[in-house]
């Protein structure tokens, strides 16, 4: 017999919070990511050089510089997405509240990493063209910080957006992503 009375539901539609502490600990991951970010450039350069030779010899690219830029882009986008996934895996290990959204979190991080590379490549070329040979050391230092800043910012932004409505992610996580990655890059520059 249906009395029309329903049992109380203990499930809430409100986003899970998880508290501030795990997010603060998770922000240390960005320092490590920024510290390791220059190695992404080294790996990309090595793989792009190999792909450049393939493009020139088998695909008939006549302009070696163009072949290198195409190869660099083709390598950098998925490689940066892969590093974004590694960052997300570390975050899932440190921030327990993220684990139920792990698949979406990983996808958001991969997309954020690829977008950061997509923005970094043309902006870096534009800066190099504008600056010319006037201050190569300053340009190199700026680019060494610009890349990690974009990487941390875009991944944090995409992660926060994918968690909207399901998990409370503080807004300052985006700023921490940028600052942490830049701090790691500064430590790498000083060593």
pLDDT attached to residue 43: 94
% of the chain surpassing 70 pLDDT = 88
Please state the pTM of the whole predicted model: 0.84
The torsion angles phi and psi of 18, rounded to 5 degrees, stand at: 80, -10
pLDDT in tens, 63-112: 888 888 889 999 999 999 999 999 999 999 998 889 999 999 999 999 99
Extract the tokens encoding 52.
Answer: 């450049």
Q: Average per-residue pLDDT in the chain?
A: 86
The domain segmentation of the chain, as residue ranges, is 22-190
Residue with tokens 């300052």: 172
pLDDT in tens, 145-168: 999 999 999 999 999 999 888 888
158 vs 126, higher pLDDT: 158
- Is the backbone of residue 4 left (phi > 0), alpha (psi -120 to 50) or beta? left
């Amino acid at each position: 017999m249906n009395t029309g009375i329903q049992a109380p539901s203990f499930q809430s539609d409100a986003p899970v919070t998880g508290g501030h502490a795990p997010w603060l600990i998770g922000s240390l991951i960005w320092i490590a990511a920024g510290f390791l970010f220059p190695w992404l450039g080294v790996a990309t350069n090595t793989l792009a050089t190999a792909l450049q030779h393939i493009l020139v010899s088998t695909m008939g690219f006549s302009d070696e510089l163009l072949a290198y830029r195409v190869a660099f882009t083709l390598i950098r986008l998925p490689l940066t997405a892969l590093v974004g996934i590694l960052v997300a895996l570390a975050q899932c290990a440190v921030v327990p509240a993220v684990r139920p959204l792990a698949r979406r979190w990983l996808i958001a991080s991969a997309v954020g990493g690829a977008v950061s590379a997509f923005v970094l490549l043309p902006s870096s070329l534009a800066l190099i063209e504008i600056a010319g040979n006037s201050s190569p050391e300053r340009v190199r230092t700026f680019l060494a910080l610009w890349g990690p800043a974009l990487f941390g910012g875009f991944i944090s932004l995409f992660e926060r957006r994918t968690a909207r409505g399901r998990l409370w992610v503080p807004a300052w996580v985006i700023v921490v992503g940028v600052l942490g990655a830049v701090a790691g890059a500064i430590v790498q520059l000083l060593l």
